[in-house]
Structure 1
Amino acid sequence: MPAVPRRAPRAAIHPDPAKTWLRRAWPLLKAHRALLITSLTLSFAGLIVQVQIPNLVRIGIDRALVERTAGLAGYVWLIAGLALAQGVINYLARLYLLRTAYELEYDLRNIVFSHLMRMSYGFYDRVQSGELMSRATSDIRAVQMYLTFGPSILVQCTIAVIAFALMVSVNPVLAVVAMVTMPMIAVLGVRMRKAIFPVSWLIQSRLAGVATVVDENIQGVRIVKAFAAEQRQVDTLARAADRVRWAYTTDARLRSRWIPVMDNLPRLGLALVLLVGGLMVPRGYATVGTVVAFNSYVLMLQPPFRMLGMIIMMGQRAAASAGRIYDILDTPAEIVDSAEPVTPLPHGELHFRNVRFNYPDGTEALDSLNLHIRPGETVALVGSTGSGKSTIGRLAARFYDVTAGEVRIDGVDVRDYPLETLRDRVGIVPDEPFLFSVSLHDNIAFGRPAATREEVVAAAVAAGADGFIQQLPEGYDTVVGERGYTLSGGQRQRVAIARALLVNPPVLILDDATSAVDVRVEHEIHESLRTLMAGRTTIMVAHRLATIGLADRVLLISDGRVIADGTHAELLTTEPRYARVLAATKEVTA
């Protein structure tokens, strides 16, 4: 089934960080102004209809029931018609408002996700994935809610102005009496929101803590069970839930102080209208219909004044959420294409010249590394943990930029190649392969989505994965579980190798990628590589003799430098440090 093409965001967040968060979001809101203005216009029309209904009730009571100068049926049908019209208008207003909200959310999510996809490894080394998930979900929702529902609430609040103007035109004295309690509701609403706002943030924070505990235990359920730690983790969740309960209880206590007062103030307004109106009707200063209509207006005026406090709270939360989103968007990508990228395709000769590299946390990985790998050569990198072996492959694919020196492929600095070209020509199979929760065919074809089944099968055969895949219930259409945990470690590694082979890169980096497969399968994989893909430059980060023995050359890495170079047999007899490294990894056999 062909993929549905993605609609690009209609606008972007303004890049100037000196602007307020609303001004930076304005281009995005402006791009959807047609839907939003339509919604607000319909909402305002609905309010005009709504305030006419109590006025018709007033006229109907006075003329049909008190003065008996007109029939009641006409007013009944007219009120029913207005109510129906209001329902239709409100339905359309809500429909367009929600469409605006979803369109804004779609664009915001695509803007943030596209930016995250451009970020380098260093960014993800510094930022926790849970924090990114929070900013890409709840923070986006908070901004979306304010940008769409904020204007709608302001329009809803205009009903107070319209209703008050109509009340003044009917009876100025009763209009003032009806409005006496409304400013008090507005003030109390603002104070209530200010009191509840910190607690609301505390609730969100502690809910995130509960979600983190649940997520970690689901992801690490195998570790939990391996150490029989189920009850301990349940206790950890219970403590997190207790903190949430305390926050919710505090929130309920605060609300119980304010809400009863705010709910009863309009009833005080009703009492005042009845009292003053009851005194005015016998004296001819008001009619019975006016008193009834004003009671409806008092109830109609209550929600807008309470909404003012809601807007304040939504604005505070949206401003904080926008700040967190802008922190991501304002972080520039460290690894970008050259202003004048070269066009030749790399073929496989690697040069590392005086390369120094420090990770973002300051850890030194490579120190004046010099390395030359010829096209088609298979090289094994051997060294103790932390010696810098894996870093060499990451720099070749330009996951990071060197701190000093240069990495060249076919004589061209990797920083001069377009990133897409470079990553297409340098394939990496990591030591912890990641599989997506899709079919095995789609996992293998991840780098080439248009690959045919025959091409996928050929790559799987070369990686030694075809045998176990054919034995699965649905073969290549079998959907693997989350992160591929329904497969063994060795099976996941073979699928990851097939994924890299399908792209057919001239440079292949196996970052200890055969550590979880047995020796027989490992030999099958490399024999297939040699037979079917001769001429490929292969770098293997290796710990096992079975892997090292397949290399044309072995490089011993220590403290970020090449300290020995030769075949496995040569190094084993001439380099004591090489033998010690192998002994430390328990790979030397008797």
Structure 2
Amino acid sequence: MSRRAPRASIDPDVRLGWLRRALPLVKAHRVLLITSLTLSFAGLIVQVQIPNLVRIGIDEAIVDKTAQLGTYVWWIVGLALLQGLINFLARLYLLRTAYELEYDLRNIVYSHLARLPFGFYDRVQTGELMSRSGSDIRAVQMYLSFGPSILVQCLIAVVAFGLMLSINVPLAIVAMITMPVIGLLGVSMRKAIFPVSWMIQARLAHLATVVDENIQGVRIVKAFAAEGRQLRQLAESADRIRWAYLQDARIRSRWNPLLDNLPRLGLALVLMVGGYMVIEGSTTVGTIVAFNSYVLMLQPPFRLLGMMIMMGQRASASARRIYDILDTPSDVVDGPDPLDVPLRGDIAFTDVRFAYPNGTVALDGVTLRVRPGETVAVVGGTGSGKSTLGRLLARFYDVTGGRVTLDGHDVRTLALSSLRQQVGIVPDEPFLFSMSIHDNIAYGKPDATRVEVAAAAVAAGADEFIRELPDGYDTVVGERGYTLSGGQRQRVAIARALLVNPPVLVLDDATSAIDVTVEQRIHTSLREQMRGRTTLIVAHRLSTIGLADRVVLMEAGRVIADGTHASLLESEPRYAQVLAASTSLEAPA
């Protein structure tokens, strides 16, 4: 089933209020919404006729005995059934509107998240994003869909007041005398509840972050027997949410009784004034009964009005948190006329400077050339900037200064989708999805056949262990692939990159967790796979360096030496020191 694109988006003008920015989304579904509201209003018209029929029935059939009571009974039953049918249809269309709005809003947020650069995810917590993509979207959806319906429901007060005026003007004014006070109380409640609503959503997001980190890091938590500490952290976060909810409850308990009971005061006034008028002969018993029904009919809408105020404050807080994401620009985007061209793999870094969003300088004036079909190993100590080269090449980040080119094209002028299809990256900590091994390997080429997937697995040295699994290639791996060993995950990741067959391949310490004997078999295959392919290898092991045509030594974000392994070993003592350090780390204890 293909994904339907959102019918509209959020207005990008940040100067507008949150509701005005959401109006394009509501307008896109106006047919469903207007149909629902029209039916809802029709149901109200039918509803307010019933007390009037009761009034006429009492006065004419019971008091004056000039009409048949059964006639009014059947009319009331008929109107009740008609109202039920209308309300059913109104509710059906309203829920359809709500779900369509939620679908579009989720897709808008997710599409924007997919466009945001790696730097955004470096500084934003996953739990925070999950909260904004979940409960915050639901809060906005509830208000955009149910808010107009509640307003229509509140129109029953206008319709009922009009009917009451047509029956008895003085008594109608008495019945409605408390309503302005309710309006003023609603405004006061709105001001009081907004900061608490914002606080609740923010603290729910923090709790989601704590839960997410505990689940994702459960192995570390258990390894350090830190369950108690994490539970205390969770309890502290839950306590802060509880405190915010208690503040919300105090505000509601202070204002809701007033909003609920003021209409009942109107009921008492109607009974008192209306009773006196009946005694004086200026109105009828049926009128009193009808007015009582109308006053009771006014209570639910005003209760809903209080609920709408609270929904509005929650939605306002949630919308602003969602807009924080949508208003974050992506600085890694396609240019005005992006190029979609086949690449040979002629890589050039020219005076490249780069600092991560937190200010860490990774590259400081790197100049490096990798010719088409050449294999270059990049060696250096931790933090020397080795992995950053591959990330800039695939435009996970954009350079701070200088330029990165492929076949003479600045990577910023190439279409992102085309660039990343032609630059395959295998990270040192590969991520696997919770699906079959076949689907994980075929992730970059979903239509790949089993034969193609198996061939890539053979090239990556993964076929043997995959076939030994209970369901072979159909074995579903656990979350992040943790049911496999680190070396097995790396081999699956290598197979995933090889299946796409990119002209440029970046192996970011991609065999660091693989046993040396297995690695040797993989290297034999990789030599064949890398023939004619431009390959950048971030390496520590001598065996991996042996795959390269030449070696680049980096230190503090600079290239300090470039040559063959043998020449560097002979002429560059710092190269020997890096290799010695790497060898000592790999040596068994």
TM bin (shorter chain) = over 0.9
Higher mean displacement: 377-386 or 260-269: 260-269
2:392 pairs with 1:395: yes
**Aligned residue number for residue 287 of structure 2:** 290
Instruction: State the Cα RMSD in Å.
Output: 2.1
**Aligned residue number for residue 322 of structure 1:** 319
Give the counterpart letter for 1:440 in structure 2. I
Aligned-residue offset at 1:21 = 3.2
Higher mean displacement: 269-278 or 509-518: 269-278
| CA–CA separation in structure 2 for the residues paired with 1:207 and 1:342 | 43
| CA–CA separation in structure 2 for the residues paired with 1:532 and 1:253 | 68
**Aligned residue number for residue 18 of structure 2:** 21
The answer as to whether partners of 2:376 and 2:552 remain within 8 angstroms in 1 is: yes
**Aligned residue number for residue 240 of structure 1:** 237
| CA–CA separation in structure 2 for the residues paired with 1:234 and 1:571 | 53
2:209 pairs with 1:227: no
Determine which of 120, 123, 135 is the counterpart of 1:138: 135
SS at match of 1:281: helix
The answer as to whether partners of 1:189 and 1:305 remain within 8 angstroms in 2 is: no
Give the counterpart letter for 2:400 in structure 1. T
| CA–CA separation in structure 2 for the residues paired with 1:203 and 1:418 | 41
SS at match of 2:396: coil
Determine which of 90, 98, 109 is the counterpart of 2:87: 90
Residues 95/430 of structure 1: CA separation in 2 closer, same or farther (3 Å cut): same
Note the alpha carbon deviations across 1:61-94, whole angstroms, 9 max, x for none.
2222222222222211211111111111111111
Note the alpha carbon deviations across 1:274-303, whole angstroms, 9 max, x for none.
222222223221211111111111111123
**Aligned residue number for residue 54 of structure 1:** 51
**Aligned residue number for residue 167 of structure 2:** 170
2:448 pairs with 1:438: no
**Aligned residue number for residue 424 of structure 1:** 421
Residues 581/5 of structure 1: CA separation in 2 closer, same or farther (3 Å cut): same
Count the aligned residue pairs: 587
| CA–CA separation in structure 2 for the residues paired with 1:571 and 1:561 | 16
Alignment of 1:483-498 (within 5 A): 483-498=480-495
Alignment of 1:183-582 (within 5 A): 183-582=180-579
The answer as to whether partners of 1:190 and 1:309 remain within 8 angstroms in 2 is: no
Residues 310/537 of structure 1: CA separation in 2 closer, same or farther (3 Å cut): same
Note the alpha carbon deviations across 1:389-441, whole angstroms, 9 max, x for none.
00111111122222222222223322232222211111001111111112111
The answer as to whether partners of 1:365 and 1:559 remain within 8 angstroms in 2 is: yes
Residues 319/246 of structure 1: CA separation in 2 closer, same or farther (3 Å cut): closer
Give the counterpart letter for 1:270 in structure 2. L
| CA–CA separation in structure 2 for the residues paired with 1:88 and 1:48 | 13
The answer as to whether partners of 2:193 and 2:313 remain within 8 angstroms in 1 is: no
**Aligned residue number for residue 121 of structure 1:** 118
Residues 553/588 of structure 1: CA separation in 2 closer, same or farther (3 Å cut): farther
**Aligned residue number for residue 583 of structure 1:** 580
Give the counterpart letter for 1:510 in structure 2. L
Aligned-residue offset at 1:193 = 4.0
The answer as to whether partners of 2:186 and 2:309 remain within 8 angstroms in 1 is: no
**Aligned residue number for residue 108 of structure 2:** 111
Higher mean displacement: 170-179 or 20-29: 20-29
Compute the TM-score of the two structures, normalised by the length of structure 2: 0.94
| CA–CA separation in structure 1 for the residues paired with 2:109 and 2:206 | 23
The answer as to whether partners of 1:436 and 1:482 remain within 8 angstroms in 2 is: yes
The answer as to whether partners of 2:127 and 2:212 remain within 8 angstroms in 1 is: no
SS at match of 2:443: coil
Give the counterpart letter for 1:149 in structure 2. F
Residues 335/194 of structure 1: CA separation in 2 closer, same or farther (3 Å cut): closer
Aligned-residue offset at 1:44 = 0.6
Higher mean displacement: 170-179 or 124-133: 124-133
Higher mean displacement: 345-354 or 189-198: 189-198
| CA–CA separation in structure 2 for the residues paired with 1:161 and 1:554 | 82
**Can you give the 5+ residue segments of structure 1 that lack an aligned partner in the other structure?**
none
Residues 369/443 of structure 1: CA separation in 2 closer, same or farther (3 Å cut): same
Compute the TM-score of the two structures, normalised by the length of structure 1: 0.94
Residues 198/543 of structure 1: CA separation in 2 closer, same or farther (3 Å cut): same
| CA–CA separation in structure 1 for the residues paired with 2:341 and 2:217 | 45
| CA–CA separation in structure 1 for the residues paired with 2:549 and 2:351 | 23
Give the counterpart letter for 1:62 in structure 2. D
Give the counterpart letter for 2:241 in structure 1. V
**What percentage of residue pairs aligned between the two structures are identical?**
74
SS at match of 1:446: helix
**Aligned residue number for residue 10 of structure 1:** 7
The answer as to whether partners of 1:427 and 1:507 remain within 8 angstroms in 2 is: yes
The answer as to whether partners of 1:58 and 1:293 remain within 8 angstroms in 2 is: yes
The answer as to whether partners of 1:182 and 1:302 remain within 8 angstroms in 2 is: no
| CA–CA separation in structure 2 for the residues paired with 1:542 and 1:427 | 16
Residues 450/95 of structure 1: CA separation in 2 closer, same or farther (3 Å cut): same
The answer as to whether partners of 1:394 and 1:400 remain within 8 angstroms in 2 is: yes
Aligned-residue offset at 1:51 = 0.5
| CA–CA separation in structure 2 for the residues paired with 1:254 and 1:532 | 68
Give the counterpart letter for 1:94 in structure 2. R
Aligned-residue offset at 1:589 = 6.5
| CA–CA separation in structure 1 for the residues paired with 2:398 and 2:254 | 58
Higher mean displacement: 248-257 or 55-64: 248-257
Aligned-residue offset at 1:337 = 2.4
Aligned-residue offset at 1:443 = 1.0
